[in-house]
Amino acid sequence: MVVAVVDYGAGNLRNVCKALEHVGASVTLTSDPRALEQAGRIVLPGVGAFADCLHGLQSRGLFEPLRDLALAGKPLLGICVGMQLLMSVGEEMGEWPGLDLIPGRVARFQFQDTPSHQRLKVPHIGWNQIIPKQDHPLIAGVKPGSYAYFVHSFHPLVSDPTHAVAVTDYGYEFPSVIARDNVWGIQFHPEKSQDTGLAMLENFVRF
């Protein structure tokens, strides 16, 4: 299976590519919309700020093609900020339009209602648990409560609860695995989450 990893200047993509190769994908790192069209699957990685990633997509002329391909049914997996870009609106340093493939917004962790001594640290960094909310091919074989590696300050809020495949508890539950039809997203780093993350990447590649 040829998997295109979208290269739009968003930092280190090497780890994502290596993990995909490890689970048997044939990986093309590309910023060419035609290569995205030819690939069987697309992975949209991302680190850094929502707006920077959005501009990276736009300046390379990838925003519209990516959206069109996803709407036409091409399997698309967003990882970390790549997952956040799938949403309608990002709220990091302003309000930014996302790809709007999964309705909802991306908000910062909010702990104002928590007493200050119990307030959790942001960014949320480390190994935390995946709590499935429904059966989905992306989490097939992943045991409830499996740990995955997170590094983020913002998280998605899905408008339609059926788009939350799994949640994670950090002060409160937020969607950590989301999906709508052929568009899937993972908030943590599957490429750094050992067997759990690799199993999910393999599920995406093989599905």
Q: Write out the catalytic residue numbers.
A: 80, 189, 191
- With CB under 8 A as the rule, give the number of residues binding another protein: 28
Q: How far apart are CA 195 and CA 58, in angstroms?
A: 34
Distances (CA, A) of 114 to 107, 119, 156, 173: 17, 6, 20, 14
48 binds another protein (CB under 8 A): yes
Please, which residues have CB within 8 angstroms of residue 138's CB and are 6 or more apart in sequence? Answer: 165, 177, 179, 184, 186, 200, 203, 204, 207
Contacting range for another protein; rule: CB under 8 A; set: 33-41, 84-92, 105-113, 189-197: 189-197
CB contact at 8 A, 36 and 6: yes
Find the binder of another protein among 1, 29, 35, 47 (CB under 8 A): 47
CA 45 to chain centre: 7
Contacting range for another protein; rule: CB under 8 A; set: 16-24, 59-67, 78-86, 101-109: 16-24
121 binds another protein (CB under 8 A): yes
Find the binder of another protein among 125, 134, 181, 206 (CB under 8 A): 125
Find the binder of another protein among 90, 104, 175, 197 (CB under 8 A): 197
Q: Given its phi and psi angles, is residue 80 left (phi above 0), alpha (psi -120 to 50 degrees) or beta? A: left
193 binds another protein (CB under 8 A): yes
Give contact residues for another protein (rule: CB under 8 A): 11-12, 14-15, 18-19, 22, 47-48, 121, 123-129, 147, 149, 151, 169-170, 191-194, 197-198
